[in-house]
């Protein structure tokens, strides 16, 4: 009785010159067992293929085995392996401004929760207060989840297929309608635009939003719409809650309204909450309405609203950021004055 062991012969590909097909190489003359032991690069190549961008038929995963067709260097936005996610690859944009804005978004959501739990809720214990806090916390949690999904989702990166300008010119002379990206040096489909921050072409790119540290494109637009909706509702909900707090305290001559904190600090925290709530409710309402209008008309914001071009959008966001930082400094200075005044002259 004889045993037959079938050992697959792995054909290797020799890196060919640009424009030529890869040539097959004769298998090694080593024994089969030794050939299997020495050939350890196959698993590494499979692991490398899992790290590349793209999804679906139009954005299939492309492994650049030839340096002539590989992207030049690493882009700012790419898939990264996360240890806490069991080494799964997630999309992330390594932009300092976007990272700062994303962290500031989380801090502002936490600030709203802090004011709700330490200023609004303690003076009025009861069932309605618990429901108010739970509703506000639920909106904050949904906003954070939508923000994380918007930030870590591939917006729709176009797979790069290196094509020379001469080849594009020849195909255009033949009557083909081709859109070519000179930065990616690749053909891009219709309604795809190049993002200078992500350094990639994005399918149905709407705009690049620093607050979510990502482009808003075909794959993550729904998460961005949900994020703006939750922040808008959360801001309006916070404004109504603060208005109810001031009205109730005014009817009680502000007795017991400083349950955990002194009166001046309560005034400054609530006033700052009113300012941030009004600012964010207005800002997110504009973004939410423009997104809904663009979705209904099947267009992008940059085409429907020319004022939302990348340059003007960045200018508006940076102006908003500087205004926010100045407001934080102003209210901290106001709190210092009120606190010193209360400790010296108030009994």
Compute the C-alpha angle 53/57/58, nearest 5°: 70
187 and 292 part of one domain: no
Report the number of distinct structural domains present in the chain. Answer: 2
pLDDT level of residue 145 (50, 70, 90 thresholds): very high
Q: What pLDDT, in 10s, does the model give residues 113-143?
A: 998 888 888 888 888 888 989 999 999 999 9
Residue 40's closest CA among 67, 4, 61, 12?
A: 12
pLDDT, averaged across the chain: 69
Quick one: pLDDT at residue 234? 94
Instruction: Give 68 or 263, the one with higher predicted confidence.
Output: 263
The CA distance from 100 to 2, in Å, is 68
Q: Is 309 part of any domain? A: yes
Query: Which of 202, 229, 262 marks a domain boundary?
Result: 202
256 and 131 part of one domain: yes
Name the strand (E) or helix (H) holding 121. none
312 and 175 part of one domain: no
Backbone torsion region of residue 156, taken as left when φ is above 0, otherwise alpha when ψ lies between -120 and 50, otherwise beta: left
pLDDT at 24 over 50: no
Q: Is 6 part of any domain? A: no
Quick one: pLDDT at residue 57? 34
The DSSP code for 333 is H
pLDDT at 38 over 80: no
218 and 257 part of one domain: yes
Query: Which of 202, 227, 257 marks a domain boundary?
Result: 202
Q: Is 112 part of any domain? A: yes
Instruction: Give 151 or 180, the one with higher predicted confidence.
Output: 151
222 and 179 part of one domain: no
Q: Look at 33-47, 111-125, 151-165, 196-210 and tell me which has the smallest mean pLDDT.
A: 33-47
pLDDT at 313 over 60: no
276 and 191 part of one domain: no
pLDDT at 346 over 50: no
Quick one: pLDDT at residue 93? 86
What's the whole-number mean pLDDT along residues 148-161? 86
pLDDT at 310 over 70: no
Q: Is 226 part of any domain? A: yes
The CA distance from 169 to 307, in Å, is 33
Query: Tokens 């939410």 — which residue?
Result: 288
189 and 123 part of one domain: no
110 and 125 part of one domain: yes
Instruction: List Cβ neighbours of 175 (8 Å cut-off, separation of 6 or more).
Output: none
259 and 181 part of one domain: no
The CA distance from 181 to 159, in Å, is 12
Quick one: pLDDT at residue 125? 82
Quick one: pLDDT at residue 304? 52
- Residues annotated as part of the active site: 209
- Greatest mean pLDDT among 23-27, 49-53, 201-205: 201-205
pLDDT level of residue 249 (50, 70, 90 thresholds): confident
Give the CA diameter of the chain: 105
pLDDT at 98 over 80: yes
Q: Domain of residue 170: give its range.
A: 165-202
Strand 179-181, strand 88-93: pairing: unpaired
The CA distance from 221 to 85, in Å, is 24
Residue 215's closest CA among 73, 96, 98, 51?
A: 98
């Amino acid at each position: 009785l004889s045993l037959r062991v079938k050992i697959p012969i792995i054909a290797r590909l020799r890196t060919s010159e640009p424009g030529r097909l890869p040539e097959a190489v004769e298998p090694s003359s080593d024994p089969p067992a030794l050939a299997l032991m020495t050939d350890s690069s196959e698993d590494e190549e499979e692991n490398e293929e899992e790290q590349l961008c793209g999804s679906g038929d139009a954005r299939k995963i492309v492994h650049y085995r030839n340096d002539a067709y590989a992207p030049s260097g690493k882009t700012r936005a790419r898939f990264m392996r996360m240890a806490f996610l069991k080494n799964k690859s997630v999309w992330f944009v390594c932009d300092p401004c976007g990272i700062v804005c994303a962290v500031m978004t989380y801090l502002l959501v936490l600030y709203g929760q802090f004011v709700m739990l330490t200023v609004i809720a303690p003076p009025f214990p009861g069932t309605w207060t618990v429901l108010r806090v739970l509703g506000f916390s639920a909106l904050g949690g949904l906003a954070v989840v939508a923000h994380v999904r918007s930030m870590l989702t591939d917006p729709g990166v176009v797979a790069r297929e290196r094509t020379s300008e001469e080849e594009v010119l020849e195909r255009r002379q033949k009557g083909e309608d081709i859109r070519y990206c000179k930065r990616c040096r690749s053909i891009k489909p219709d309604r795809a635009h190049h993002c200078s921050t992500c350094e990639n072409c994005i399918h149905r790119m709407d705009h690049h939003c620093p607050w979510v540290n990502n482009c808003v494109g075909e794959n993550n637009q729904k998460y961005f719409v949900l994020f703006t909706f939750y922040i808008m509702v959360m801001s309006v909900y916070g404004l109504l809650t603060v208005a109810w707090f001031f009205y109730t305290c005014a009817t009680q001559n502000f007795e017991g309204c400083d349950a955990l904190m002194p009166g001046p600090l309560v005034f400054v925290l609530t006033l700052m909450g009113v300012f941030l709530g009004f600012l964010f409710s207005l800002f997110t309402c504009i973004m939410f309405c423009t997104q809904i209008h663009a979705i209904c008309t099947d267009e992008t914001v940059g085409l429907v609203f020319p004022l939302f071009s990348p340059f003007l959008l960045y200018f508006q966001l940076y102006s908003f950021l500087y205004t926010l930082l100045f407001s934080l400094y102003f209210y901290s200075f106001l709190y210092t004055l009120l606190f010193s005044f209360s400790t010296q002259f108030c009994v």
